[in-house]
């Protein structure tokens, strides 16, 4: 399948406009803190949420609003998570009502999300005051502005899209994400908003999303913390004009492949932008007994604090990789594990059959000093494979989170 990537994000699919402004939730006036995404027509909608028992009020409201499988707009703020607040539900509902007041889109067709500090009341006043500007700035080429509106400690925007052919029609799937800290596998793991002009039923859209996250967002970890507001939402407005996808088949498989091409790219962008990160860490596992075993091993490696610290120091301490494999809970023959470190500077074998082999520390250092590092694990237990995404653990991670609230 030929996928063409674009930086137009959520605005590449037909019929989607976006906006992002600074309304005053955040003190820094150079930071956008409010975002809006609207479709020209009502969309099939599907979403997944954090597995944390402590959930932000917007999740409750969004679940209710898209319970019928449809939505037409997304409003999201940064700077305040609207979590653990006595009036949190009321504030989230008022945000939806403001969208209806200023766009005509029913409040019940609005996805609402918030991100930022937990446990502080969210004042609706700056959001109310910014709605005129937010709606006036809606545009078919404003994906990055909306992306900036949901960022917290992120350094880089994460706006990307792919286009592809389906039923002779050019279709697109686009997305924006925020995610830098409190990123850990367990459903969604950040704020991600996806759009597509593909015609697909809500049921098949949800099926595609659930299938995809198992190998993308649920395989991404920065620091082992699962946030309270994690939301992954996709809107499909059908404006590409393809035959409606309402069952399994070739068209559904093509759509799933396009979705995966987009989300796997977004996962790497999120991991690379981990708080304080200097390296993107990718763990690939082949030869696993089962898919579940391969996933457990890949995730265990990118979640290992000791492995992450070794990557930061460009230290080829492969024993930490073996250690992470050993406690992963996977059914694996440790005596059959091979490990290689791979980057743009080359690759080097450091372990064969569960034991160390001689290698050049100098060459290993050169490989591990590159921006993107792959820990390649080859098992000899079966034919299952998996890939996970993470980053190194640096001094700056502690600095960023030591005074995050104050």
Residues recognised as catalytic? 189
Return the SS3 of 116: strand
Give dist(CA 174, CA 163) in Å, integer. Answer: 9
Nearest CA among 292, 219, 295, 204 for reference residue 256: 204
Residues forming beta bridges with residue 234, ordered by sequence position: 46, 194
Residues forming beta bridges with residue 73, ordered by sequence position: 38, 110
Q: State the residue for tokens 């390649």.
A: 376
Strands 346-352, 355-356: pairing is antiparallel
Return the SS3 of 269: helix
Give the largest CA-CA distance in the chain. 68
C-beta separation of 202 from 252 below 8 A? no
Nearest CA among 229, 108, 250 for reference residue 165: 250
| Token pair in block for residue 181 | 């800290």
């Amino acid at each position: 399948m030929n996928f063409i990537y674009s930086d137009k994000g959520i605005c590449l699919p037909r019929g989607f406009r976006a906006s992002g402004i600074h309304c005053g939730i955040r003190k820094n006036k150079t930071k956008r803190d409010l975002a809006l995404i609207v479709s020209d027509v009502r969309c099939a909608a599907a979403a997944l949420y954090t597995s944390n028992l402590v959930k932000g009020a917007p999740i409750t409201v969004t679940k209710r609003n898209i319970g019928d499988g449809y939505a037409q707009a997304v409003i999201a703020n940064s700077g305040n998570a609207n979590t653990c607040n006595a009036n949190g539900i009321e504030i989230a509902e008022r945000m939806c009502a403001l969208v209806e007041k200023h766009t005509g889109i029913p409040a019940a067709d609005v996805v609402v999300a918030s991100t930022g500090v937990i446990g502080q009341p969210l004042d609706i006043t700056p959001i109310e005051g910014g709605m005129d500007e937010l709606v006036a700035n809606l545009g078919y080429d404003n994906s990055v502005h909306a992306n900036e509106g949901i960022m917290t400690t992120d350094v880089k925007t994460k706006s990307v899209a792919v286009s592809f052919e389906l039923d002779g029609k050019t279709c697109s799937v686009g997305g924006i994400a925020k995610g830098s800290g409190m990123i850990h596998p367990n459903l969604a793991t950040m704020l991600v908003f996806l759009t597509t002009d593909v015609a697909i039923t809500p049921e098949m859209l949800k099926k595609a999303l659930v299938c995809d996250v198992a190998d993308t967002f649920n395989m991404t970890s920065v620091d082992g913390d699962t946030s309270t507001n994690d939301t992954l939402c996709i809107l499909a407005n059908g404006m590409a004009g393809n035959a409606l996808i309402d069952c399994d088949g070739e068209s559904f498989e093509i759509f799933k492949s396009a979705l995966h091409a987009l989300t796997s790219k977004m996962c790497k962008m999120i991991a690379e932008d981990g708080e304080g990160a200097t390296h993107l860490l990718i763990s690939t596992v082949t030869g696993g007994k089962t898919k579940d075993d391969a996933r457990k091993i890949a995730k265990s490696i990118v979640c290992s604090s000791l492995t992450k610290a070794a990557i930061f120091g460009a230290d080829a301490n492969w024993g930490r990789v073996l250690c992470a494999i050993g406690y992963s809970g996977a059914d694996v023959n440790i005596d059959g594990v091979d490990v290689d470190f791979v980057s743009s500077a080359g690759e080097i074998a450091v372990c064969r059959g569960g034991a160390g082999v001689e290698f050049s520390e100098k060459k290993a250092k050169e490989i591990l000093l590159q921006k993107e590092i792959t820990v390649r694990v080859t098992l000899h237990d079966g034919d299952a494979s998996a890939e996970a995404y993470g980053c190194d653990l640096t001094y700056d991670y502690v600095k960023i989170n030591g005074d995050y609230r104050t």
